[in-house]
Amino acid sequence: MALTRIKNQESLVNEIIIQLSQAILEGDFKPGDKLLSEAQLCEKLGVGRNSLREAIKMLNAIGVLETKRGQGTFLAKEISHDVFNPLIFKLILEPKCAKDIYELRVLLETMVILMAIKKATAEDITEVKTIVLKTKELLENGHNNIESFVELDMQFHLTVAKATHNHLVETILATVITIFEPFIKKVLLSENGISLSIKNHTNLIQIIEQKNIIEAMNAVKKSLDEFMY
């Protein structure tokens, strides 16, 4: 299957993901192959760099592609066909509303925090604290690249998921966190959004350390409510 210019300009990211995925399934790319350059893919697909990067970021998140800084983007050497499961693609491609995203985040993050309370080690706690500390330092030093804060915010949630010591939980969160990213960015761009995020993350760490199960559920909902209303 040759990549073709995309006609539906209203859902570019989805169309890019579909085309690349079909090309992989049909064997046009082999495990470990380097993809065409960003400029070449944009030309072949008739899309802009931002849309292409967003699609590649999503395929990176589910383990289909691997982007190596300074080298390019490669097809993963080992890909489970489970990543092409219709449920995963439905989560990524289906139109989303803020309410649905909010409810999904409450569900997942509550589950992750409760499991982390039971299983997190001292090393896990230190790792999560380090991420919050990095975020504070960037803010205090006047760093204004919002993408850095978004990346650290997502890293925080993935590291807490890692503290559950449950590979399935980690995999689920790593898959769906790309859905949350635009909302995380919007929150961090709001007035005092970064400071509020640091405060909420610090509170969640304390809850995990104190193994406060009752407060965990309230804290997750409260932190997300502050961003919704």
Instruction: Calculate mean pLDDT across residues 154-176.
Output: 89
The pLDDT, as a whole number, for residue 109 is: 86
Contact yes or no for 25/59 (Cβ under 8 A): no
Nearest to 54 by CA among 92, 25, 85, 89: 92
Task: Give the DSSP letter of residue 64.
Answer: S
Q: Which two tokens stand for residue 183?
A: 């909302």
CA distances from 225 to 106, 125, 218 (A): 10, 25, 10
User: Residues 62-83: pLDDT tens digits?
Assistant: 778 888 888 999 988 876 555 5
Instruction: Calculate mean pLDDT across residues 83-112.
Output: 71
Give the residue, 145 or 176, on which the prediction is more confident.
145
The pLDDT, as a whole number, for residue 76 is: 83
Picking from 14-23, 30-39, 65-74, 155-164, which range would have the lowest pLDDT averaged per residue?
Answer: 14-23
User: Residues 177-219: pLDDT tens digits?
Assistant: 877 887 888 889 988 999 999 999 999 999 999 998 888 877 7
